[in-house]
Structure 1
């Protein structure tokens, strides 16, 4: 690698052999060529006013840097449902978590140190 111009020359000399022998290389070159053509066509089309170019959402101008986005506020505020302890602005003081007595037993996380692992319980359909 002490002579850099020889590396590009060797790569160019290997292109016909890679094209003839490697199907993935051929597909990659064809895909890259199609992507280049589409890019050039999109750049040449420019900004369209009749809707056949970029989607309208892409044409919305961006706000200047440093400005803060404020979400629209509706006049109607949703009132919290009475009796639910979990709601915005409420603490978790009155919340208790209990296990559903009807749920199947799950041994996940119950292995104690020194105990052999239990086989998982499976329910066949």
Structure 2
């Protein structure tokens, strides 16, 4: 059995990066898109819609969903952040009453790919205090 030299890399389970990550985005049909995002993109041509969800890196918890519209012709992107909150409890069953919530659509200039648009949108969510 060989001893590990001092300078050799070892796993460090204590290092936890800040921020959010997301799995690869999925292109979706307009019928799956939140109505507020559809309205925000009304009149645009050649818009493609995508979805993914944000994951808090330190806790590995899902924070909520993201829907992104990309208008490559205009060089713009527009995104919304979707969450589910507990509005109360059913008085008879005590089951939670869940409601879907969405941020207002956030439109911004974007000449990059979808991943960069999601990164820009996430950073704006962080600066607005919507996510940590």
- The TM-score, its normalising length taken from structure 1, stands at 0.17
Q: Which structure has greater helix proportion?
A: 1
Which of 1 and 2 has greater Rg?
A: 1
What TM-score does the superposition give when structure 2 sets the normalisation length? 0.16
